[in-house]
């Protein structure tokens, strides 16, 4: 018995040491040369690029400024708004609740939010953007007192009060819906009895040691000395201006307590930890996770290539590929995962660079000829 306990202790220590070990970094010199050359020709890009194969970092560099006013250079450890890349974390919380027996994907939304005037919608519809729900932000923009900060409860109250018409019947088609993911966070709270932010921290961020990742308030982000502020280029001023200084982007402030569709801020390194966890059973088992990477069958029996928080490239010679992008005032983000060949691309920009798509495509072409 003592020997068995000793062996168990050794195994436990080994597991902890392995799980806490730093991510390996071995530069791909050809990729470094090619990508550096590309970035030299795209000097207006501000952000971080990370490329990994098999969990080993092959390229990880920062470009541009964390703060344009002070000319403070970006670092690979800077924290960025993820925008809609947040949705895959919201979907994971739902999957974890499913495994815990707290809900089912085909549960009716009405079971959790009975007063909401939209019937026939399931949790699966919310996850896959097939609910037909109207845009909550449009209703809030029209009626909300913008001197106050709105929460999910406020958003739901206004959807009930003003009852904008649905766009289509549930399951009829795909239509990207921030409303759906806002409601998923509330469903998670109803099913678990816990705050969604606490769920995200306790179930995902902390177990994965994503120490720079959180759902933060505006003041919390301002207090961080490594937060990358978002910027937008203004032609007539010939310079970058802080995105939160534009009145038309104030919705990021007065919708500042929303949960589910956005609001996670993180680093490229933490996102790689997230990527690695998705190859394990640490959060959910692999059978459950495959549901996140499967297309949604619509009422017409045709398929929509959006799973649970992930867009799916349906046909590829390189195995299954999933990805997601994010777009907030001053920010553009992207994560792409070659699941079968274990290759990862992460690009985070804090000057809303329109070059992010071409950068990802360039890296894709390089990786795919080496798969």
Write down the residue that tokens 């993820």 correspond to: 82
Asked if 74 and 50 count as a contact pair (C-beta separation under 8 A), the reply is no
Q: How many CA atoms lie within 13 A of 110 on its CB side?
A: 5
- Banded model confidence at residue 361, pLDDT cuts 50, 70, 90: very high
Average pLDDT across the chain, whole number: 92
Query: Torsion angle of alpha carbons 264, 268, 273, 275, nearest 10°?
Result: 90
**Catalytic positions:** 84
Q: Is the pLDDT of residue 10 over 80?
A: no
pLDDT at 252: 86
pLDDT at 213: 98
pLDDT at 370: 67
**Helix 29-40 and helix 356-368: axis angle, to 10°?**
160
Q: Give the strands of the sheet with 311-313, arranged side by side.
A: 56-63, 47-53, 343-349, 331-338, 321-328, 311-313
Terminal Cα-to-Cα distance of the chain (whole angstroms): 48
Q: How far is CA 367 from the centre of its chain?
A: 23
- Provide the residue count of the chain: 371
Q: Return d(Cα 270, Cα 48) in angstroms, integer.
A: 13
CATH of 24-368, picked from 3.40.50.300, 3.40.605.10, 3.40.710.10, 3.40.50.2000, is 3.40.710.10
Q: State the Rg of the chain over Cα.
A: 21
**Mean pLDDT, residues 113-128:** 97
Q: How far is CA 368 from the centre of its chain?
A: 24
Model pLDDT for residues 263-320, shown as the tens digit of each residue: 999 999 999 999 999 999 999 999 999 999 999 999 999 999 999 999 999 877 889 9
């Amino acid at each position: 018995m003592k020997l068995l306990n000793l062996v168990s202790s050794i195994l436990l220590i080994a597991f902890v040491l392995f799980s806490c070990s730093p991510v390996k970094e071995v530069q791909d010199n050809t990729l470094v040369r090619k990508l550096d050359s590309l970035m030299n020709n795209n000097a207006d890009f501000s952000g971080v690029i990370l490329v990994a194969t098999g969990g080993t970092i092959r390229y990880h560099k920062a470009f541009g400024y964390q703060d344009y006013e002070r000319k403070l250079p970006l670092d690979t450890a800077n924290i960025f708004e993820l925008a809609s890349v947040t949705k895959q974390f919201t979907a994971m919380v739902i999957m974890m609740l499913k495994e815990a027996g707290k809900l089912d994907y085909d549960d009716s939304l009405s079971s959790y939010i009975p007063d909401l005037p939209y019937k026939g919608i399931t949790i699966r519809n919310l996850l896959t953007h097939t609910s037909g729900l109207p845009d909550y932000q449009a209703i809030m923009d029209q009626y909300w007192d913008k001197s106050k900060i709105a929460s999910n409860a406020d958003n739901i109250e206004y959807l009930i009060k003003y009852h904008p018409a649905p766009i289509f019947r549930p399951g009829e088609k795909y239509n990207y819906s921030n409303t759906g993911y806002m409601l998923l966070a509330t469903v998670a709270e109803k099913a678990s009895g816990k705050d969604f932010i606490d769920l995200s921290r306790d179930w995902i961020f902390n177990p994965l040691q994503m120490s720079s990742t959180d759902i933060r308030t505006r003041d919390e982000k301002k207090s961080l000395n490594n937060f990358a502020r978002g910027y937008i280029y203004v032609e007539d001023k010939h310079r970058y201006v802080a995105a939160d200084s534009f009145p038309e982007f104030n919705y990021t402030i007065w919708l500042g307590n929303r949960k589910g569709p956005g609001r996670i801020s993180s680093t490229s390194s933490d996102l790689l930890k997230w990527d690695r966890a998705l190859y394990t059973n640490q959060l959910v088992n692999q059978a459950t996770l495959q549901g996140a990477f499967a297309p949604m069958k619509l009422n017409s029996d045709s398929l929509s290539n959006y799973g649970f928080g992930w867009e799916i490239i349906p046909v590829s010679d390189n195995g299954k590929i999933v990805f997601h992008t994010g777009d907030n005032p001053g920010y553009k983000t992207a994560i792409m995962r070659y699941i079968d060949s274990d290759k990862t691309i992460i690009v985070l920009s804090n000057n809303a660079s329109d070059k992010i798509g071409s950068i990802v495509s360039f890296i894709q072409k390089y990786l795919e000829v080496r798969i």
